[in-house]
Structure 1
């Protein structure tokens, strides 16, 4: 439902924004009869040239660009769980497939084991992944901070489902 609301509000914003850039057209009047100076004629020509355009291509492009950005936007999350899953699959499943631990069997990634060892916290998982401990190697040099945060959030969210 929130996606529909954001699309509708984005479309309203686009239409309002486009209206701000569109110059309203004014009906042209016939030139007055009589003698005029050259300067007056030139100023009239430049004034009517700016009046003749009722739709600005720049405004239309900006409106469509904003609409495309609103429609295709994804909500910003503190952690990207899809990236966390990919990082986990690429770096952690060799020892932690299915939330288990093939090296030290009792130190699983399941919620009860994480609670027992004081690791059922995203910050504690980030510290473990970054620095390593015991037989677990440190990944602080191999993975970037965003990837470590993403994989820690993935493990935290997956711990009670394994």
Structure 2
């Protein structure tokens, strides 16, 4: 009986934790603000002032394998070549917000 009660308690705690602590969804409004502050200097309107072909438009993102949230989050956090890393300046949630904003804008053609 005690084992059953312990199992029930563990199950209830797991369910409570799982359903009351959801991962926050990306906030593209926040992503837009962060992009303006941290990214627009090099990526105005989805462009790239350093390497024109490696921009944030849908075609280029797809060509370079950067057309997923995971890929955009990774390069935003860790940087690559001339791209600075932002993991020490932005939180994980902020990086997710920026990535979601970038992909949303790429879908819209940066309009």
* TM-score, with structure 1 as normaliser: 0.52
SS in structure 2 at match of 1:113: helix
Partner residue, 1:72: none
2:54 to 73, 89, 107: 107
Work out whether 1:128 is the aligned partner of 2:71.
no
Partner residue, 2:95: 148
Consecutive unaligned residues of structure 1, counting only runs of 5 or more, are 1-75
For these two proteins, the number of residue pairs brought into alignment is: 87
Partner residue, 1:89: 36
SS in structure 2 at match of 1:138: coil
Distance 1:84 1:95 in 2: 16
Post-superposition shift, 1:78?
A: 1.1
Could you list the structure 1 runs, at least 4 aligned residues long, displaced by more than 6 angstroms after superposition.
none
Kindly name which structure, 1 or 2, has the bigger radius of gyration based on alpha carbons: 1
Consecutive unaligned residues of structure 2, counting only runs of 5 or more, are 1-22
Greater RCO (Cα-Cα under 8 Å, separation 6 or more): 2
* TM-score, with structure 2 as normaliser: 0.76
Alignment RMSD (CA, Å):
1.3
